[in-house]
Chains A and B, each alone.
Chain A
Amino acid sequence: MEYDNKINHPQFIRNGKPVAFTPEVMKTVQTLIGRYPEGQQKSALLPILHIAQEELGGYLSVDIMDYVASLLGIQPIEVYEVATFYSMFYLDKMGKYVIEVCRTGPCAISGGDKIMEHLQEVLEIKPGETTHDGVFSLKEVECLGSCGTGPVMQVNTEFYEKLTPAKVDHLIEELREFATKDKPRDTKWVEKFC
């Protein structure tokens, strides 16, 4: 594919390492680009940013966004403006597990605000913050489309429903333990696309 030649563009080097997808990931990325008509490669931006965020360190730094722009043959600003618009893209370093608690009406009346308070106590951080060990970030988000099983939260886009403080404690413990392991806990974005 014509995009290949730009992979190791010298501009995208961070801490001495090139910013680039592995060849396997690149394959999926190219399949995704091929799903949109000629001249409309930009359409693949959102799916690719999801993959980039997950594969290249958990957030979208400027050099990652520049790299994605080069893959799609678009201007970096076109990536920046998109990355800042959507709430699932992070522009700062996040914890290994990003806990996103739904705060919207139906969850709130089924105890969502208590879950948020509980998490703040357990993790000793406020929404928008990351724990010192870099394991957890806490975020408040809007309706996750799971209102019948509230209160609900997502941990790296995995759903946890009908929460109670006890369930939360249990999960946090499990995640703390898992954080020491290398392999990711849930299926990655790239694996979702056949």
Chain B
Amino acid sequence: MGGKILLANIDIPGIRGFDVYRANGGYVSVEKALREMTPAQVGAEVTRSGLRGRGGAGFPTGLKWSFLDRKSDKPRYLVCNADESEPGTFKDRYLMHHLPHLLIEGLIISSYALGVNTCYIYIRGEFKYLVGILEKAIKEAHLNGFLGNRLLGTDFSLNIFAHPGAGAYICGEETALLESLEGKRGNPRIKPPFPAFKGLYGCPTVVNNVETLATVAPIISMGGEAYSKMGKGKSTGTKLISACGNINNPGVYEIELGLPVEEFIYAPEYCGGIANDKYLKAVIPGGSSVPILPADLILNTSKGERRLISYESLAEGDFETGSMLGSGGFIVYDEDACIVRNTWNLTHFYRHESCGQCSPCREGTGWMEKILYRIEHGKGRMQDIDLLVRVAKNIEGHTICPLGDAAAWPVASAIRHFRKEFEYHVEHPEEVKDIHHGSLKIETRSLMPESQTGIKYW
């Protein structure tokens, strides 16, 4: 299992502490960047690597950095997005828990490249214990001369602080995060202006995900060119995928982008197949906000090609028959999962987490939840299904931040691919009255035994 760069050292006992981390090649990339490279060269190396944002949107990191307003005489900030609240996503927590120094290493190099002297790690409040782990690691880095004034004898100075949130999914959205970091409610800002010009305290700011920033360290060690050779096409390098749901081995896996989805689901070194020998029914491949795909479409694209875990392949077929890589929260559903119930559950989440600024999102998520609840509990009407599609359409694209879209896509895609199940709920109210009902065993094209795909890896 080659190709691990982030988690390569994760099994070394004590790797969370500075000494062991350093003894295993830690902070060498910081020395290389600060001693041998100019900030511009570091930025160029990141651009060359093809690294794309791991927080969800997949925006090229080098390009994002190049937008930072360097003409302004205000201080610049780097903010690390460790809000990780997207259902199905738990990779950043894993990374910070086991390898806090890897993140700090990435933060130092990134700050150097961006000309930043203060960096905040915004951690979701529920990860209180991680605040302690990170603060300890920051202190160790300070004591060893990797943080503070005039690092390694250069004239570059840097402080990093951990900052806890307090329970709000919306604070993962970068402008809401900045508001929250300023001590306010997490209401997303209207863009433009973008954070690159007016971010934290109105100063030029870069917001990046934990995994994105941690990856900068190995990129500098191995060189952007070498990193870009890993992966497939424009999806370079490796990605952490957090896999959960009805699989044998839930957990966080570092994969080289371009791994076939089928191998990821069934190979023993990854998910290890569907739990209890059931069939695969559906997958949400990138955190709950991206469209759900039925088994046949997650394993193969509509063109009949094998679906790979990469930005391009997962999006193949757009929203008709595709989905997105998103944050890498891979949620697997077996044949017993009730799609209607699951859609209602997720809509409840978005209704609860909407900040309430825009009416399409605030009202729309509420309506969708109510209608879905009705259908799920055997009180739905046939026209409700199209009503849902209409409400979802009216949210999508009409809001300040993408949470509106994130709420609309799961509903629209569930109906697109599992309409029969919604209809069945309406037609058989008696059968679905029990809230613990499982799958209705109706024929959907999604129940696809692995043998039908004709590919074997394991």
Contact = CB atoms under 8 A, between A and B. Distances in A.
Contacts of A74: 183
Contacts of A164: none
B201 A37 contact: yes
B201 A104 contact: no
Interface string A29-62: 0000001010010111111011000000000000
A77 to B, nearest CB: 12
B90 A108 contact: no
Interface stretch (A18-26, A142-150, A166-174, A176-184): A142-150
B223 interface: no
Contacts, number: 156
Given A143-B87, A145-B127, A146-B90, A43 B182 contact: yes
Contact of A147 (B90, B186, B342): B90
Interface string B227-270: 00000000000000011111000111000000000000000000
Nearest to A104: B87
A145 B201 contact: no
Contacts of B167: 86-89, 141
Interface residues of A, number: 49
Contacts of A5: none
A142 B245 contact: no
Interface stretch (B133-141, B308-316, B395-403): B133-141
B75 interface: yes
Given A46-B183, A106-B244, A89 B166 contact: yes
B168 A145 contact: no
A148 B125 contact: no
A50 B88 contact: no
B346 A82 contact: no
Contact of B89 (A44, A147, A159, A194): A147
Interface residues of B, number: 63
A103 B351 CA distance: 14
Interface in B152-187: 159, 161-169, 180-186
Contacts of B169: 142-143
A159 B127 CA distance: 9
Interface in A90-149: 103-106, 108-110, 113, 141-149
Contacts of B132: 187, 191-192
B128 interface: yes
A142 B169 CA distance: 9
A157 interface: yes
A106 B87 contact: yes
Nearest to B124: A145
B201 A147 contact: no
Contacts of A192: 128-129, 131-132, 135
Given A89-B167, A194-B136, 7 more contacts: A42-B182, A49-B166, A88-B167, A89-B166, A105-B88, A147-B242, A148-B244
26 contacts: A42-B182, A78-B183, A78-B184, A82-B183, A86-B125, A86-B167, A86-B168, A87-B166, A88-B125, A88-B167, A103-B345, A104-B349, A105-B87, A105-B342, A109-B245, A109-B337, A109-B342, A142-B85, A144-B126, A145-B89, A147-B89, A147-B331, A148-B251, A187-B132, A189-B128, A192-B135
